[in-house]
Amino acid sequence: MARAALPGTSLRLARLSGHGDGRFLLIPLDHSVSDGPITTAAGFHDLVHDLVAGGADGIVVHKGRARLIDPEALASCSLVVHLSASTAHGPDTDAKVLVGDVAEALRLGADAVSVHVNIGSHTEAAQLADLGTVAAACDRWGIPLIAMIYPRGPRMTGPPSPELVAHVVNVAADLGADLVKTVFADPPERMSEVVASSPVPVLVAGGADSRQSLAEFARTALATGCRGLAIGRRIFTSPTPRQTVRELADIVHGSLHDTLPPSNRLAGVL
């Protein structure tokens, strides 16, 4: 049985699922810290408007970028403030450090916060400690925590097994995450086992794999029981991000919802 969320957490989770169906379409835009600018400053403003118009439930940005977003642009879209960072130029790109806190995120109007953890990295212990610290603050303030957790590091070789993905997902849940974003484990029927093992909703990252269209990937992910998508790069590099998001939003919140058992809907996880 899922744990009861605090009233503030429940309210913000409901807001984060823009259609009130317990399904989520989040667009991470934090890549400008890890990899460099994803567009021009003016282009970022236009991108946010396109994502919201397309039907994104939430965007994920760092605290400084959150201050620069037109508040009116987020009238129908949630704000998630990402608290972890590293850059592609560091000696260990799998090492993540906290660069913000829950109180800052709340002052910015955040509906949720997110923390990145790489299981199998050299700094796994510190990242787990950070996740636990942020989880405690989220409980104190009544704000949802999204754990972006991956099997990633020098001990991780080859595609992650379903057993490994299930492990990292449950690490996030056990340490206090309300939602978990992770990789998709092939084959799809094994991803269903990953989802079944998790006491909190699982969202999948889109990555850079172009062997499937985003629409095909979304349908496959939802059919396994995943509760949504958290895809950035394959959307903001699209020539038509608004249309891409609209197509994904139709899949995430559309007819597939009728095929999911009631236990997979929002009322079953709050």
Which residues belong to the active site?
30, 150, 181
DSSP 254: S
- Single out the residue of 83, 90, 91, 143 nearest to residue 117, CA to CA: 83
One-letter identity of residue 116: H
Q: What 3-state DSSP class applies to 250?
A: helix
Alpha-carbon distance values, 78 to 16, 74, 142, 178 (Å): 6, 6, 16, 16
The runs of H, that is alpha helices, within 6-123 are 7-16, 31-34, 41-54, 63-68, 102-107
Q: Which residues pair with 147 in a beta bridge?
A: 115, 180
**Chain centroid to CA 205:** 7
Query: How far, in Å, CA of 40 to CA of 131, rounded?
Result: 32
Q: Taking the CB of residue 32, how many other CB atoms lie within 10 A of it? A: 15
Q: Are strands 112-119 and 145-151 parallel, antiparallel or unpaired?
A: parallel
- Single out the residue of 115, 41, 110 nearest to residue 83, CA to CA: 115
